[in-house]
Amino acid sequence: MSEELNRISLTIPENLLDQLDEVLEKKDYSSRSEAIRDALRDFLTDYRWKEELKGKQRGVVVMVYDYDVKGLNKKLLDIQHEERDLIKSVQHLHVGRHECMEAIIANGLGERIRDLTDSLKSLDGVKQVKLAVVGR
Ligand code: NI
């Protein structure tokens, strides 16, 4: 049984589109739509998984950001100091001329680790945030 398809239009930065096309070339995607559908499924799976995080958990939040974005460093520090009982360790790596990577090790309630991840993700200048939770 085939699913009914709906058409939507999408506005994305050129750089992101270039990266998508590079992946299309390397993988066996027949169209951009197919690749975006796959990415959207991953996004939704990830979203549901995070919504279900409950109880004591431990994990690592890895993020990449542009330290040149005005006010970003202060916001990152504010968030990390607010969550100092949740955050056990922070590893900082200078990965590019203006790019930093941080691995934040957290131990505490899953909901709080999820909220921390979401608040970092929402900041202007934060390019990527990934959360990995490991079993107890
Ligand atoms: Ni740095």
* pLDDT tens profile 68-86: 999 999 999 999 999 999 9
Distance 19 CA to ligand 1 centre (A): 24
Average pLDDT on 9-15 reads 94
Q: How far apart are CA 28 and CA 45, in angstroms?
A: 22
Q: What is the pLDDT of residue 134?
A: 80
- Three-state SS for 85? coil
Residue 124 to residues 13, 64, 70, 91, Cα–Cα distance (Å): 15, 12, 9, 21
Residue 136 confidence (pLDDT) above 60: no
Distance 23 CA to ligand 1 centre (A): 28
State the sign of the Cα–Cα–Cα–Cα dihedral 45, 22, 34, 127.
positive
Let me know: does 110 contact 56? Beta carbons within 8 Å. yes
Considering only 37-41, 91-95, 96-100, 122-126, which range has the smallest mean pLDDT? 37-41
